[in-house]
Amino acid sequence: MSQIRDNKLLQKIAIVIKELREEKGVSQEEVYNDINIHIGRIETAKANLTVSTLAALCKYFKITLSDFHKKIESL
């Protein structure tokens, strides 16, 4: 089964992830050290992340998936 890639959606996810990281005041390296997820490729929309990865990031940034989705839709 091939993966579906929605570049516009990935761009919006990238923007929101970067905003959340900057609001928390942490670097990409700190995120990796804290939860073992490389977010550099996510923040540049190069990675087609999984729902599990997105859920882990939301938990780290203390935001629900629902609220994350609302942020994406507002862009």
The predicted pLDDT at position 1 comes to 66
Domain boundaries, position 16: 7-67
Give the total number of structural domains in the chain: 1
Is 47 inside any structural domain?
Answer: yes
Query: With helix as H, strand as E and coil as C, how does the chain read?
Result: CCCCCCHHHHHHHHHHHHHHHHHHCCCHHHHHHHHCCCCHHHHCCCCCCCHHHHHHHHHHHCCCHHHHHHHHHCC
Q: Is residue 49 part of a domain?
A: yes
Residue 74 domain-assigned? no
Asked whether residue 48 is domain-assigned, the answer is: yes
pLDDT in tens, 13-58: 999 999 999 999 999 999 999 999 999 999 999 999 999 999 999 9
Residues 74 and 26: their CA atoms lie apart, in Å, by 24
Question: pTM (2 decimals)?
Answer: 0.92
Residue 3 pLDDT: 83
Q: What is the pLDDT of residues 56-71, one digit of tens each?
A: 999 999 999 999 999 9
Tokens of 27: 């670097």
